[in-house]
A and B are shown apart, each in its own frame.
Chain A
Amino acid sequence: MTDTAYNFAYLDEETKRMIRRAILKGIAIPGYQVPFASREMPMPYGWGTGGVQVTAACLTPGDRLKVIDQGADDTTNAVSIRKFFERTAGVATTERTAEATVIQTRHRIPETPLTGDQILVYQVPIPEPLRFLEPRETETRKMHELEEYGLMHVKLYEDIARHGHISTAYAYPVRVEGRYVMDPSPIPKFDNPKLSGNPAIQLFGAGREQRIYALPPFTEAVSLDFEDHPFEASKPDHPCDLCGAEGSYLDEVITDDRGGRMFVCSDTDFCAERRAAGHAGRLAAPYEETAA
């Protein structure tokens, strides 16, 4: 049911036009952070206001929306954002990746490969990949302008010198088409390869920091590394305990207070579809016997 007190998808048309202009600019300059006049949304900054504004600017009445947080459709913030658009835009929603036309996500890229008919909208807390090396916006903008990215590799060098490995596990920076260094939002580095050459449009919205950036379809995004310490898209070395998938990203669940734990797909739709298709993991079935 649409709440008629507000415009379609909450934002007024002028604001949506302003956001669309920023999105188009972002698509024209892949990886470049476009400043935009982020609006105050009825959910807190840091809870997806950037993604919500980008989604609102992209949605049409015919769209089918999927919202995930940590890969799951049923996490509270995903539920809350999905409800917001059900109420303000009245669009159809889905939990199935393949059926969605617009997917808003926090921290994951779905396991099911995306297609050219889809838009993936990321919620971004800190869009600036150089932020924790240089806190000043005026300075980081200059570094991007002049392609002064040596400092990024200094950070990776320091990681290896200290730990023997690059110790960035999520929000792992990428170089886009050999030009801008970009923060892919806090997705696990396991997801980084899916950024590159993806047929879907990937849009990144940072509300509090007032930035939008984009990867157009089939854009190259290379994870920063060294020749002799190449990037590695790693994940916990287990199959999913519910669906048995070997190659999906996993959540770790503590099952008792004696060190018991299990690993399950973080992408709930992917896992459910596999189980529906008859795949089963170590702890999937039959429930009754193990419970007894």
Chain B
Amino acid sequence: MTMVHPIAPGTPPAVPGPLLSVDGIEKRYGARIGCTGVSFDLWPGEVMGIVGESGSGKSTLLNCLAGHLAPDAGRVLFDTRDGGMVDTVTMAEPARRRLSRTDWAFVHQNPRDGLRMGVSAGGNVGERLMAVGARNYGGIRAAALDWLDRVEIAADRVDDRPSAFSGGMQQRLQIARNLVTGPRLVFMDEPTGGLDVSVQARLLDLLRGLVREMGLSAIIVTHDLAVVRLLADRLMVMKSGRVVEAGLTDQVLDDPQHAYTQLLVSSVLQV
């Protein structure tokens, strides 16, 4: 099942270039390869899945793309609002931090890494708005309540701290906190990891709805093929720091060419 996304509102129709263009990314840890030779384009409204077992280099790659790690080689070009394609690897730190609180979002596997546990749910969602200059308390609160509703958190929990939330609620809150400013690119690192199966299903359903509704562009790293089957348009399979196979999600999962992909696909339960 391939998903069709509407064109994101506000996207200029005239110049259909990629949103993100990754070229020859490599990261080493001493003599050991983290990831190497990774190149791909991500188009507006597209969701890219990166799968592989732990240690395959997929999280290293994601952190290089999101500016959390400095790659040793390669470029990560992002289509900025005012400057066109700019290499975020060589970009000045202030500009990159600005990107990461406006156009980018990052959903961590562990919601504790992405939330302020001592701040109320409303404050967590409102922080990005305030960081980009929102100064109307009522407006910020209304936006927070709207987003809590969209991620199925009851309005009367708005003043509670995330430490009082279940794992699934914390993860939904993290997603709301990230999406509230309407980012153009979302990085997700195992967004369903660490959750019970039933909770995972609800979260996946929610994510699928949001991705469709907002026309999100996203890069999702996961070891769970069910996640990419539901969410990703395209797929890259990583092994030992290299991309061993890439293509449309259904194509890769239903007709894997590389022996490692065949192993991966055959080792999971059908969903």
Contacts and interface: CB of A to CB of B under 8 A. Distances in A.
B135 interface: yes
Contacts of A229: 137
B97 A150 contact: no
Given A162-B159, A229-B137, A150 B131 contact: yes
Nearest to A229: B137
Interface string B122-165: 11001110111001111111000000000000000011000000
Contacts of B93: 146
B119 interface: yes
A150 B132 CA distance: 7
Interface residues of A, number: 19
Interface residues of B, number: 25
Given A148-B131, A150-B101, A150-B131, A157 B126 contact: yes
A146 B130 contact: no
B110 interface: no
Nearest to A156: B137
Interface in A149-181: 149-151, 153-154, 157-158, 160-162
B229 interface: no
A161 B122 CA distance: 9
A13 interface: no
A148 B119 contact: no
A147 B130 CA distance: 12
B97 A157 contact: no
A45 interface: no
Given A146-B93, A148-B97, A162-B159, A157 B131 contact: no
B94 interface: yes
A119 B199 CA distance: 63
Interface in A223-242: 225-229
A227 B139 CA distance: 10
Contact of A153 (B94, B101, B135, B139): B135
Contacts of B136: 226-228
B120 interface: yes
A154 B129 CA distance: 10
Given A146-B97, A154-B123, A160 B137 contact: yes
Given A146-B93, A146-B97, A148-B97, A154 B119 contact: yes
8 closest Cβ pairs, A-B complex:
A150-B131, A153-B130, A226-B137, A150-B130, A227-B136, A146-B94, A228-B138, A154-B127
16 contacts: A145-B94, A148-B97, A150-B101, A154-B119, A154-B123, A154-B127, A157-B122, A157-B123, A157-B137, A158-B120, A161-B120, A162-B120, A225-B135, A227-B135, A228-B138, A229-B137
